[in-house]
Amino acid sequence: MSEKMYEAIYKVAKTSESDSIVLWMDKVEIKGTLLDCEDNKCIKDIITLQDAIVKCMKHHDEEAKERHFKWLNISACHIKAFTFKCCMED
């Protein structure tokens, strides 16, 4: 499954107007800039984000806690959904 998610993210990225991506996992939302794989810097099944913001949701009544990272590597098998910022509505 992770290989399909990995391939889907980079396939959609090629047609997207933005490299800013939002990923969802269990109770976690991650926003960042997707590393371009054209120069073969990517590792299979690992999604690498630059300037990543991780928002953890614990309970409905708690405010989400955010952490910032210069670089973040995510195993594609943990990603439930994704979109690019250009596709989001405010």
In this predicted model, what pLDDT tens digit does every residue of 29-70 receive, in sequence order? 999 999 887 766 778 889 999 999 999 977 666 677 899 999
Cα separation of 18 and 84, whole Å? 6
For the full predicted model, state whether its pTM sits above 0.95: no
With H, G, I as helix, E, B as strand and everything else as coil, classify residue 76: helix
- Residues present in the chain in total: 90
Q: What angle do CA 86, 87, 89 make, to 5 degrees?
A: 100
Higher pLDDT, 57 or 72: 72
**Greatest extent of the chain over all pairs of C-alpha atoms, in Å:** 44
Cα separation of 25 and 46, whole Å? 14
Of the candidate ranges 10-19, 40-49, 73-82, the one whose mean pLDDT is the lowest: 40-49
Q: State percent of the chain over pLDDT 90.
A: 49
